[in-house]
Structure formats: C-alpha cells, structure tokens
Amino acid sequence: MHVITFFAPKGRAGRTLATITAAMALVKAGKRVHVLDLTDPRMSEKVPLPGDRTGYSTGLVVWGLRMNDAGIGADKMRVEHVRGFQDFSYDLSTAEIEDADVVLIDTPSRPTDLTLAAIDRSNLAVTPATTAMDAKLIFHSIKKHYSVSMPTMICGLATGTSGPEEDKLVKAAFSKWPSFRTVLPYSSSIPAQFHGRLLFNGPDQRGAEGAAQQAGRAFGKELLKVAGGYLPGPTLPAPEDGWDWRNLNRPNLSLWQ
C-alpha cells in the first residue's frame, strides 16, 4: 500500500487540486484509493453533515460524497476527515485492512504535528507550488522541521503556472529535489468536480482544450511509478548543503532530468 502526502506550507498552492486529480486518475486506472483529509473544516467549504463533531465537513469530504453519488462507490474510493492522531491511525489501519492500493493525504496550509506525522508515515510527499517563491518556501520549511534526516521521498509538482518558462522556474526552485514532469494546469473542470462531475474536461488557464484531462492521467501514471520506485521510504542523512536526491542510487531517477 502506497501512502502519499500532499504538502505545502501556504494556501492556494494546489494541494487539494493535486489530491483530487490524483484520486480520479488512480480510480480510473483501476486502483482502490483512500483519501484522508487533515484540513480544518472551518477553513474550507462549510457544509453541515450529520455526525460531524465540528458540525461541518471539509470541501474534500463533500467532494467524495458527490463522487460516490455520481457512481464511484466506496469499494473504489473512500474519503475520510481526520480530526487527530487517533483518527489518523485508525484510517490508515482501515485502508490496509480493506486492501487499498493508495492512500492520499491532503494537509492544511501550516505544518502541524499531524501533518509532519503524515509525512513521516508516507512513502512519498508531493509538494505542489504555483511559483518559484512557493517552491523555495516549501524546501526551507521542510528543512527546518527535518534538520537531521528526511524519512520520506519528496517530489515537487508545478501547478497552475502561467507558461512553460514559469514551469521551469518552479521546478528549478525545488533546489536538489526531483520534480514531476507533469504540470497540473488550473482548469474549470477541477472545481467542477466538487459539484459532482467525474471527468476532466474543459480548457485550462492557457485556453488549451482537454489539457486538464491529459495532465491528470499523466500525473496519475507518473505518481504510481514514482511511489512504486520508492517503497519503502528511505531514511537519509541530510548533507551540509541540503538533500542531494540526484546522487542517490534509487530506481526511477530517469523519470526526472
């Protein structure tokens, strides 16, 4: 079972965008997916749901319910709101018992203890960024919290950039981390999924038709290759100048240039 966490220490970086895109692509590829939402429901779409301790549910959980209503059953995808460490441990155990292929974890915009625990437990941490400054912030944030070792493989992801030149700047700003070749565009089809639409369609922010669907599928395939190549997650010492992932003797480094 692969555990993949999406992390960025700021809002509107594309964590939830990447999470739902990955979930849909993996389900379409025939994988059983569990999605764990660590975000605070009070900071997202406020929708009352019976039985929720806070009286509200997160936008990601609401999206999961709408996907279930649209035909993706709980046998293919489950979305759970995680309120604390006990929930987190229980939901991971449930995913393992139910033979989930992949667990995707969406996190809040600040590195809480629960977020850091999720990264520790993951085989792969995906760090989405829309600008080079965002990418640098993520790099320094994780180095701050992991000054000695990094237990999880980290891979950057460019999201919603304005063009190919900015794509390159974002990937370069991840410093010595590898980054996904796929770039996830902003598209009207992504927020439309929150209202029950299953497929990626519609133009992206650059006007390209079908770009979101194509990028979503490519991201799902690349995600499985990367996660599969880095299972289990390595515990690595941090060199004085930072983590130099490119010098590691690990499989699938040919995915990145």
Residue 112 contacts by C-beta under 8 Å, 6 or more apart in sequence? 38
**pTM of the complete model:** 0.76
Helix (H, G, I), strand (E, B) or coil at 33: strand
Please identify which residue in the block is written with the tokens 């039985």.
51
Q: What's the Rg (C-alpha) of the chain?
A: 17
- CATH number, domain of 206, equals 3.40.50.300
Over residues 180-227, the pLDDT tens digits come to: 888 887 655 555 555 555 544 445 455 554 566 777 778 888 887 877
Q: Strands 102-106 and 2-6: what pairing?
A: parallel
Contact 215, 182 (CB under 8 A): yes
Q: Which residues of the chain have pLDDT under 50?
A: 43-56, 148, 199-202, 204, 209, 230-257
Helix (H, G, I), strand (E, B) or coil at 183: coil
pLDDT of residue 85: 92
Amino acid at 175: S
Host domain of residue 225: 2-255
pLDDT of residue 35: 95
**Count of CA atoms in the C-beta half-sphere (13 A) of 204:** 19
pLDDT of residue 177: 79
Domains of the chain: total: 1
Please identify which residue in the block is written with the tokens 């669907």.
213
- Residue 65 token pair: 């319910």
pLDDT of residue 189: 53
- Residue 253 token pair: 């480094």
Over residues 229-255, the pLDDT tens digits come to: 544 333 333 333 343 333 333 333 222
pLDDT of residue 74: 85
Distance of alpha carbon 58 from alpha carbon 64, whole angstroms: 10
